[in-house]
Amino acid sequence: MAWRDSRKNRARLLLFISSIILGVAALVAINSFRENLKKDIDRQAKTVIGADLVLSNNQPISDSIEWLLDSIGGQRAHERSFASMIYFPRTHDTRLVQIRALDGAFPFYGDIETEPQSASSQFRVGQKALVDHTLLLQFNANPGDSVKIGNLSFYIEGRIKKLPGQNGIAATVAPPVYIPLKYLNQTGLQQKGSRIRYRYYIKLPAQTEVEKLVKNIRPRLKSEGIGIRTVASTKNNLGDAFDNLSEFLNLVAFVALLLGCVGVASAVHIYVKEKLATVAVLRCLGLQGIQALMIYLIQIIVMGFIGALIGAVAGSLIQTTLPFVLKDFLPIEIDLAISWPSIFQGIGIGIFISLLFALIPLLKILKVSPLLTLRASFESTADKGDRINWVVYMLITAFIYLFAFLQMGSWLDALFFCLGLGVSFLLLTGVARLIMWVVRKYFPVSWSFIWRQGLANLYRPNNQTLILIISVGLGTALITTLYFTQNLLLDKVSLSSIGNQPNMVMFDIQSNQKAALNKLTAEYKLPIIQEAPIVTMRLTNVNGQTKSQIEKDSLNDIPRWAFNREYRVTYRDYLIDSEKTAEGEWKGKVARAGDPIYISVDKGYAERMKVGIGDTLTFNVQGALLDTYISHLREIEWNRVQTNFLVLFPKGVLEDAPQFHVIMTRTEQQNVSASFQQAVVRNFPNVSVIDLGLILSTIDEILNKVSFVIQFMAMFSILTGFFVLISSVILSKYQRIQESVLLRTIGANRNQIMKITALEYFLLGSLASVTGIVIALVSSWLLAYFSFDTSFTPNLLPILGIYVIITTLTIIIGILNSTGILSKPPLEVLRREV
């Protein structure tokens, strides 16, 4: 019966289900990709770190650790890396890069991919360098040219195509340049106070149980502040990073699916309405309510299966585009394969959720009275407060909650996700109902027929107000929130380049170079906007307690990172523009050696550390322990272009400690900037120059890549929104057709019907998009306030743009849909459709 009943409606049934295709496709694509990525991470983890074990620190390993490593055996490679300027003599260009001075056969697993291929081994045997290929492109340099690093020139042996474990984004920030370690000293870049990262790559003897070994040596290594990476920890880190990303993308896909399901529910609602007469006839002939329900349930399951299947196939195809979309974030090569579990999961979720949503309108069928055959009435099928309905609603809520929980892994986050969705639904429903009530109550009886007809269509029987406002509104809310969030992130990092703010930072300046560099800056007529000495140190005690004592104290929740990080501290006796006293008094000076040292810390840092005025912090300054007292808290504007410091020391303490200096200046002209940078690199090879313009464009580039990924996923929701919109409008044709044809019969012209239709869809599109935008504004504000800790001032123009686009699309789809009817003679349509 289900088969026979569907004969005349299959195309329409498929239309219902089309709404879920994209949602399922997105889910299958993301899950398949995640599955393949996991497999590839397992397979390639060794080549990602290039060794079995990597140790790293900001100082060379001690003799005792050296002995420890000797006792382990295996092969070892050693790398020292730091940021520095390089200079291309041929073009006189300079750029901040990541110098990696390498000794040994790293990588032990995988390769440094170079061009020519032999370069990865050849550069190790002479005064040669491997240079990142985008850097070479940028400065129009080639293998065979030379590059100056510090005091030494290197022959460019080849271009680096891919490094083990490095993704595109990392290379954008600081492009890598490899040189042999034995030439590092001659470059003159390794000086006291230089910020060098020391890495030791170890290939363990075969049959070594890595994890067991690491467990044994970890306490020794940790006591010296040495970081440890193993293949297993890399797998976990990579897996975690991509789990977070794919969970987010999965939620976006799920929202697309939910949106599709709203479409399914609305379509089935209309379908059921039209089928009530058929059901009544069947009921007259003795069909039971449950049997009638089964007829339509089977139709929906079959169509849901077809829709989900098409979605799964599309998802598997879309998956092949994801490596392209995510290529800048991937540290490994992805081998794409069909992921059957993801396909089955996608199809299962697709069928289940479309069935759940279809059940709400389908349950009406249970209640159809055979009396309907004799007399149609409005109230005959009303089933308000029906318990089964509530069960279905609860099932839907439970399913959404469970799915969100599985993606987010937190009951609370899942609850917020569901609450957000629920509130949006309620708000949209509320707006729809309010509009219907207001239009009916204050109906403008004196307006022209077309206006009244268009307005009245909002509340008359068979109106689409509720369903279109929910589907279009939710789609708009989602798209707009994504847009606002993206801008929030962009605004947060777009450091102001206006006014007299610095746009060039020079760092790693030795104390004895400071005066000469200041002089050089003055020669170029550039202002010195800020200069600061920087001393690096580590925190050892908080209120007399060491890290290990705090870790054992369950009541003390000072975060561990406070001890693990390196502090770059400055000293002065005044506050700068970007700082404001939040609490306490800034003393600024220590008069005599041995006097108490009163320091100032960032207010936010103090809150996270759970310390305040009067607490003591002990720092290890290159071996010397300094006890300090917090006497002052500062509020710092972190997004200003300044060198800002969590910890500020008074004068009279750190002057003799190993230190380097930072100088900030500003230059308007690019050519001055370039020639000044060249002069700095020529005269002070160890000094690094950061061109903030370059950094800003780099950040912009990264964010563009991130937002591309987000937009790519949001596209599924947007397209689903349009699918729902199109199918809602097409389905409504079956309702509106009779009205339009009758109007046509009694003399309405094409223009009048067009105007009525356009007006109705204009009102629906406007209401839906405005409500959606309001929801997006509220949720973006909440995100800005609670998640990004920033203020949110929306730009009016894009809002207007979104409104115009959504509304226009709604009108266009509505009108396109009616033109088919209008071009046919009324009699033909009357006989066929009515």
Partner 1 sequence: MLAVKNLTKTYKSGNRALTVLDDISFEINRGDTFAIVGPSGSGKTTLLGLCAGLDRATSGSVVLNNILLDRLNEDERAFVRNQHVGFIFQNFQLIPTLTALENVMVPLELRGERNIKERSLKLLERVGLGDRKHHYPAQLSGGEQQRVSLARAFSNEPKILFADEPTGNLDEETSEKVVKLIFDLNREAGTTLVMVTHDMDLAGKTQRIIRIKGGKLISDNILAPTGGN
List the one residue from 214, 245, 284, 742 that touches partner 1 (CB under 8 A): 742
Burial of 811 by CB count in 10 Å (0-12 exposed, 13-18 middle, 19+ buried)? buried
Residue (46 or 269) nearer to partner 1, CB: 269
Q: How far is the CB of 273 from partner 1 (least distance, A)?
A: 11
Residue nearer to partner 1 on the CB measure, 299 or 453? 453
> Which residues in the 358-417 window bind partner 1 by CB under 8 A?
375-378
Cis peptide before 685 (omega within 30 of 0): no
Query: What is the nearest approach in angstroms of partner 1 to the Cβ of residue 375?
Result: 8
- The residue within the footprint of partner 1, chosen from 59, 288, 496, 745 (CB under 8 A), is 745
**Interface map 600-639 toward partner 1 (x if CB under 8 A):** ----------------------------------------
Among 750, 790, 791, 804, binds partner 1 (CB under 8 A): 750
Torsion of CA 169, 501, 537, 684, to 10 degrees: 80
Which of 424, 472, 438 is CA-nearest to residue 774? 424
Q: Which of 487, 461, 654 is nearest to 571 (CA)?
A: 654
Interaction between residue 466 and partner 1 (CB under 8 A): no
Report residue 544 CA to chain centroid gap: 40
Instruction: Quote the DSSP letter at residue 145.
Output: B
Identify which of 688, 705, 698, 731 has the alpha carbon closest to the alpha carbon of residue 193: 688
Residue 146 vs 380, nearer CB to partner 1: 380
Q: How far is the CB of 365 from partner 1 (least distance, A)?
A: 19
Looking at the Cβ atoms of 456 and 613, the one nearer to partner 1 is 456
Q: Name the β-bridge partners of 54.
A: 201, 229
Q: How many of the chain's residues bind partner 1 (CB under 8 A)?
A: 35
CA distances from 54 to 76, 174, 203, 208 (A): 10, 21, 9, 15
How far CA 497 is from CA of 174, 488, 492, 576, 693, in Å, comes to: 21, 18, 13, 19, 8
Query: Would the CA dihedral through 516, 521, 525, 527 be positive or negative?
Result: negative
Helix ranges (H only) for 73-132 are 119-122
**Is 711 an interacting residue with respect to partner 1 (CB under 8 A)?**
no
Per CB under 8 A, does 743 bind partner 1?
yes
* Element containing residue 605 per DSSP (H, E): helix 603-609
Name the segment binding partner 1 (CB under 8 A); options: 218-226, 415-423, 737-745, 807-815: 737-745
Least separation in angstroms between residue 758's CB and partner 1 is 17
Least distance from partner 1 to the Cβ atom of residue 822, Å: 8
Asked if residue 600 lies in contact with residue 634, where contact means CB atoms within 8 angstroms, the answer is yes
Taking the C-alpha atoms of residue 525 and residue 203, their distance in angstroms, rounded to an integer, is: 53
CB nearer partner 1, residue 192 or residue 832: 832
- Residue 376 or 625 having the CB closest to partner 1: 376
Least distance (Å) between residue 460 CB and partner 1: 4
State in angstroms the smallest separation of the CB of 750 from partner 1: 5
831 binds partner 1 (CB under 8 A): yes
CA distances from 370 to 122, 282, 379, 381, 480 (A): 89, 8, 14, 11, 47
748 binds partner 1 (CB under 8 A): yes
| Residue closer to partner 1 (CB basis): 195 or 273 | 273
For the CA atoms of 547, 551, 555, 560, the dihedral, rounded to the nearest 10 degrees, stands at 70
The token pair at 29 is: 């694509």
324 binds partner 1 (CB under 8 A): no
Contact segment (CB under 8 A) with partner 1 among 24-32, 294-302, 480-488, 825-833 equals: 825-833
Interface pick for partner 1 out of 170, 210, 774, 830 (rule CB under 8 A): 830
**Count of all residues that appear for the chain in the document:** 834
The answer to whether residue 497 forms part of the interface with partner 1 (CB under 8 A) is no
Nearer to partner 1, 380 or 511 (CB): 380
Would you count residue 441 as binding partner 1 (CB under 8 A)? no
C-beta of 441: minimal distance to partner 1 in Å?
A: 15
**Under the criterion CB under 8 A, does residue 449 sit at the interface with partner 1?**
yes
Give yes or no for residue 273 binding partner 1 (CB under 8 A): no
CB of 820 to partner 1, least distance (A): 13
**Contact flag: residue 462 with partner 1 (CB under 8 A):** yes
Residues 795 to 824: which contact partner 1 by CB under 8 A?
Answer: 822-823
Q: Residue 733 interacts with partner 1 (CB under 8 A)?
A: no
Give, as one character, the DSSP assignment of residue 825.
Answer: -
| Residue 206 token pair | 């075969």
| Shortest distance in whole angstroms from residue 736 CB to partner 1 | 9
Identify the residue whose tokens are 């007259």: 284
User: Which one of 219, 286, 385, 461 is in contact with partner 1 (CB under 8 A)?
Assistant: 461
Residue 349 to residues 27, 403, 407, Cα–Cα distance (Å): 9, 10, 14
Shortest distance, position 447 Cβ to partner 1, whole Å:
11
Dist CA 171 CA 100 (whole Å) = 13
Instruction: Specify the residue, 291 or 745, whose C-beta has the smaller distance to partner 1.
Output: 745
What are residue 580's phi and psi, to 5 degrees?
A: -140, 140
The interface mask with partner 1, positions 751-790, x = CB under 8 A, is xx--------------------------------------
Nearer to partner 1, 83 or 764 (CB): 764
Q: Which of 144, 219, 544, 747 binds partner 1 (CB under 8 A)?
A: 747
Which of 498, 746, 796, 797 lies at the binding interface for partner 1 (CB under 8 A)?
746
Among 228, 456, 777, 815, binds partner 1 (CB under 8 A): 456
Nearer to partner 1, 670 or 745 (CB): 745
Task: List the Cα angle 558/563/569 in 5-degree steps.
Answer: 115
The verdict on 337 binding partner 1 (CB under 8 A) reads: no
- What is the per-residue DSSP string for 483-537? HHHHHHHHHHH----STT---EEEEEEEGGGHHHHHHHHHHTT--EEEEEEEEEE
| CB-nearer residue toward partner 1: 809 or 822 | 822
Half-sphere exposure of 431 (CA within 13 A, CB side): 26
Rounded Cα–Cα distance for residues 538 and 554 (Å): 23
Residues within the interface to partner 1 (CB under 8 A): 375-378, 448-449, 453, 456-457, 460-463, 738-739, 742-752, 822-823, 825-828, 830-831, 834
